Amino acid sequence: MEVKRFDLKTDLQKLEDYLRNQYLENKNMTSWLPERLHDLIFRMDTQYTDEGNLKSSDYIFIWEDNNEIVGCILPDGDAIYMSVKKGYEDLYKSIVKYAEEYCRPLFKKEDDGSIDFLVIANDSLEYRRKYLEQNGYIRQKEEDYDNYVYPQEVDVKVDLPEGFKLVYGDEYTDEENKWSACNLGFHPDLENPNYKNGMNAYNTRKNSPMYKDSFECMIIDENAQEKNDVCSYCFVYVDKESKTAFIEPVSTREKYRHRGIGTAMMHGVMLRCKELGIEKCYVNSYDWRRKFYNASGFITEDTIGYYHKKI
């Protein structure tokens, strides 16, 4: 068994294939989709470094058995996820211990020099919960959810109030409006006409080999008085080989919420995925967002626990 640090130039295709094969074997999100790996490397890592933090992809580690990937550490900011190939479940213990030693730099040190080490684990993989709890990890109350929809089986339509319109990325060229709408949805306190945000994460995402098959979906306010007329925005990573799509990020600006606009956008995503032959769409959620996705037609597949340990 060999452990090595991920190298973008030499290991991306191999790790992408591993995650894709894990999905095709298990048909669920207990391992990351390759689309999520691309979002981490080509979008989130830029956002992290812009904020003065380390790149998560520099702390991806791969376990190989006879030159075949059988497990890996997949950090996302100050949270660690592990993927383990079926039949290698006993490897999980070693991977957790390895992460505790080598992924520490991703975490902020407390005044006493300790860190709040965070491991994420799907509830459907019960052996992980048992191991973490037996080794001093405490699960926080809040949890995440993996949600899916089969676009080929849905019968949805885009219902919008008068004056609003569904558009896809190739139909709307003002990229600053797209990205700022997403940021304003997550940070409504920044809603003001002078707000400007960096475009680095938006632009580096275009370096992903999956970008050409992926798409943006949004709702615009045709009667908006301000420059930014984008009400709701999402990006959809498409992997044609597995016929899956991962929707990330999703955001609706605060002043446009509770009007059916976000639901209409998600239906627009389903319709486009249906056209593209996508068999399964995923979106990750937490707290009240799960209710929103469920109301839009998504089904919750799995719950995800956050396990903390002071080390």
Is 286 part of any domain? no
Pair 57, 156 in one domain: no
Tell me the longest C-alpha to C-alpha distance in the chain: 61
Task: Confirm whether 108 is domain-assigned.
Answer: yes
Look at residue 285 and tell me if it is in a domain: no
The verdict on 163 and 250 lying in the same domain is yes
Statement to judge: residues 173 and 131 lie in one domain: no
Please indicate, yes or no, if residue 291 is contained in any of the structural domains. Answer: no
Q: Classify residue 295: in a domain, yes or no.
A: no
Can you give the pLDDT at residue 197? 63
Range of the structural domain that residue 220 is part of = 151-278
Residues 6+ apart with CB under 8 A from 52: none
222 and 237 both lie in a single domain: yes
User: What mean pLDDT, rounded, does the chain reach?
Assistant: 94
- What value does the mean pLDDT take over residues 282-286? 94
Contact (Cβ atoms closer than 8 angstroms) between residue 79 and residue 304: no
Q: How many domains does the chain have?
A: 2
> Which residues, including other chains, have CB under 8 Å from residue 167's CB and lie 6 or more apart?
217, 218, 219, 220
Judge whether residue 246 has pLDDT over 90. yes
Q: Is the pLDDT of residue 239 over 80?
A: yes
Question: For 122-137, what is the mean pLDDT?
Answer: 97
Give the pLDDT confidence score for residue 190 in this predicted structure: 67
Residue type, 149: V
Residue 22: pLDDT over 60: yes
Find where tokens 């990937």 sit: 69
**Are 129 and 241 in a shared domain?**
no
| 21, part of any domain | yes
261 found inside a domain: yes
Q: Is this structure's pTM higher than 0.85? A: yes
Read off the tokens for 240.
């044609």
Give the CATH number, domain containing residue 224.
Answer: 3.40.630.30
Residues 123 and 172 in one domain: no
Query: Could you tell me the two tokens for 74?
Result: 């997949």
Both 14 and 139 in a single domain?
Answer: yes
Give mean pLDDT, residues 266-278: 98
Are residue 92 and residue 126 in the same domain, yes or no? Answer: yes
Task: Give the tokens for residue 234.
Answer: 């999402």
Tokens 């885009």 locate to: 158
The arithmetic mean of pLDDT across residues 226-240, rounded, is 93
Q: Which residues contact 182 (CB under 8 A, 6 or more apart)?
A: 233, 234, 249, 251
For the segment 140-195, what is each residue's pLDDT rounded down to a tens digit? 999 999 999 999 999 999 999 999 999 999 999 999 888 888 777 777 776 665 55
What pLDDT does residue 15 have?
A: 98
Q: What is the DSSP letter of 229?
A: -
**Rounded to whole angstroms, how far apart are CA atoms 14 and 28?**
20
CA 20/CA 210 separation, integer angstroms: 13
219 lies in some domain: yes
